[in-house]
């Protein structure tokens, strides 16, 4: 891995069994592409998952499942560093320093926190959910990442990261790279099939609104065929007037590696039915080998765990160096090492 390449870092939560099409098209697909051109660090953010109640056995299983799915999409441990966040203790350590650099008001403005806390109610809202974005700040800054490939819903957290990095650098001298979000316009937000005005989301969409990558292809086909489409019958990319059709066009174009304009042209004069049938087929063709590969990785947990251990070791060598610098800059006395 050439070290003069720009660095990218991103993470995904192990909070549900299967990734969905929004995770894949909005983020993970870019991760796979970027490992060819960037020094890439990707992680399963199990510490972030703890911000909401988790069954310990399920969390363990979902963490392996998330790693298996990442490998199945094409992440290659020879070309990127793939690891589990809690295996690198520096994340929690730098997070504390960053918490002390973040204003209470600043953290209170994070919209994802406001959404989640209002959904779960004050009784189930932990302090960890509140400081979640600051752990994310630490995740990114530890690796001196130049770019962070994510979906649109994460833009505010990257902006917070930039602000805190600049504040730290201003106060203590150049320490952290100020990262840029890497968000592809077309797939920045994949929408719920049943309500194409809101994002596809494991926590808020109904099951019928989500294309789960590990779903039985027949189940996905059924969901796609019953996707809410718009009035009229013309197939046209127009997210304002035709959010349902536009969402299907985006998914189809991206999965088949063509532009939305090309798909639009192909379906000119055809009905919504033809578009849905073809999309269901494309999704099924994509998902079947993906599911099979995921299963193979899960069937060999020892190999999976050792890949993750190697990833953590590589990640840790970078993270430890950054943490030591940050500790020193703020005036913490060096310890034994
Ligand atoms: P999460 O499942 O919340 O850990 O999200 C993992 C990644 O998927 C993040 O980069 C999100 O921005 C991205 N993502 C999640 N839902 C969507 C969506 N509906 N459209 C585009 N990107 C998404
Ligand atoms: N908060 C991100 C999400 O919900 C996950 C995440 C945690 C992340 N740490 C990160 C993404 C660091 C990018 C970089 O999707």
Neighbours of 201 (CB within 10 A): 17
Q: Ligand 2 center to residue 82 CA distance, Å?
A: 14
CA distance 37 to 7: 9
Nearest Cα to Cα of residue 279 among 310, 311, 260, 256 = 256
Most distant CA pair in the chain: distance in Å? 72
199 labeled binding residue: yes
State the pLDDT at residue 337.
57
pTM of the full structure = 0.96
Whether 200 has a binding-site annotation, put simply, is yes
Atom 10 of ligand 1, nearest CA residue: 150
Question: Three-class SS string for the chain?
Answer: CCCCCCEEEEEECCCCCCCEHHHHHHHHHHHHHHCCCCEEEEEECHHHHCCCCCCHHHHHHHHHHHHHHHHHHCCCCCCEEEEEHHHCCHHHHHHHHHHCCCCHHHHHCCHHHHHHHHHHCHHHCCHHHHHHHHHHHHHHHHCCCCEEECCHHHHHHHHHHHHHHHHHHHHHCCCCCCCEEECCCCCCCCECCCCCCCECCCCCCCHHHCCECCCCHHHHHHHHHCCCCCCCCCCCCECCCEHHHHHHHHHHHHHCCCCHHHHHHHCCCCCHHHHHHHHHHHHHHHHHHHHHHHHHHHCCHHHHHHHHHHHHHHHHHHHHHHHHHHHHHHCCCCCCC
Of all atoms in ligand 2, which is nearest to the CA of residue 48?
7
Distance 173 CA to ligand 1 centre (A): 34
Question: 53 alpha carbon to ligand 2 midpoint, in Å?
Answer: 18
* Atom number, ligand 2, closest to the C-alpha of residue 9: 14
Question: How many whole angstroms from 237 Cα to the centroid of ligand 1?
Answer: 22
Q: Which ranges of the chain have pLDDT less than 50?
A: 1-2
Q: Is 13 in the pocket of ligand 2 (CB under 6 A)?
A: yes
- Cα of 265 from ligand 2 centre, angstroms: 36
Q: Could you give the residue numbers annotated as active site?
A: 116, 199, 202
Q: In this structure, which ligand is nearest to the CA of 158?
A: 2
Q: Which residues line ligand 1 (CB under 6 A)?
A: 12-13, 22-23, 26-27, 150-151, 153-154, 189-190, 199-201
| pLDDT attached to residue 1 | 47
Ligand with smallest separation from the Cα of 19: 1
Lookup result for tokens 């590969």 = 293
- 116, 153, 161, best to mutate for ligand 1 pocket (most atoms within 8 Å of CB): 153
Q: Which atom of ligand 2 is nearest to the CA of 27?
A: 15
Give the side-chain half-sphere CA count within 13 A for 171: 12
Residue 46 near ligand 2, beta carbon < 6 Å = no
CB 66 within 8 A of CB 19: yes
Q: In ligand 2, which atom is closest to the CA atom of 13? A: 5
| Domains parsed from the chain with CATH numbers | 5-185+300-328 (3.40.50.620), 215-293 (1.10.240.10)
* Closest listed residue to residue 176, CA positions, set 54, 5, 7: 7
23 is in an annotated binding site: yes
């Amino acid at each position: 891995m050439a070290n003069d390449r720009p660095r990218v870092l991103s993470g995904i939560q192990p909070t549900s069994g299967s990734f969905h099409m929004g995770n894949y098209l909005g983020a993970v697909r870019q991760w796979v592409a970027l490992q060819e051109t960037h020094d890439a660090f990707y992680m399963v953010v199990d510490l972030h998952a703890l911000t909401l109640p988790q069954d310990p056995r399920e969390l363990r299983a979902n963490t392996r499942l998330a790693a298996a799915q990442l490998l199945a999409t094409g992440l290659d441990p020879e070309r990127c560093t793939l690891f589990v966040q809690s295996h690198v203790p520096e994340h929690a350590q730098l997070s504390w320093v960053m918490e002390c650099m973040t204003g209470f008001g600043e953290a209170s403005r994070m919209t994802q926190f406001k959404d989640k806390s209002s959904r779960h109610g004050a009784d189930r809202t932990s302090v960890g959910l509140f400081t979640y974005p600051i752990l994310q700040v630490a995740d990114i800054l530890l690796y001196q990442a130049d770019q962070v490939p994510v979906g649109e819903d994460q833009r505010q957290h990257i902006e917070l990261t930039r602000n805190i990095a600049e504040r730290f650098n201003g106060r203590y001298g150049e320490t952290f790279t100020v990262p840029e979000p890497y968000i592809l316009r077309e797939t920045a937000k994949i929408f719920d099939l049943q309500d194409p005005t809101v994002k596809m989301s494991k926590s808020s969409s109904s099951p019928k609104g989500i294309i789960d990558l590990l779903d039985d292809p027949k189940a996905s086909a059924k969901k796609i065929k019953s996707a809410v489409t718009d009035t009229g019958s013309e197939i046209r990319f127009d997210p304002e007037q035709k959010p349902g059709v536009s969402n299907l066009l985006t998914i189809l174009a991206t999965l088949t590696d063509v532009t939305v304009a090309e798909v639009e042209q192909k379906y000119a004069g055809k009905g919504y039915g033809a578009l849905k049938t073809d999309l269901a087929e494309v999704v099924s063709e994509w998902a079947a080998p993906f599911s099979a590969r995921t299963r193979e990785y899960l069937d060999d947990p020892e190999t999976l765990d050792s890949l993750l251990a190697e990833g953590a070791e590589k990640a840790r060598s970078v993270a430890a160096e950054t943490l030591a610098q940050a500790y020193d800059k703020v005036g913490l006395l060096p310890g034994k090492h």
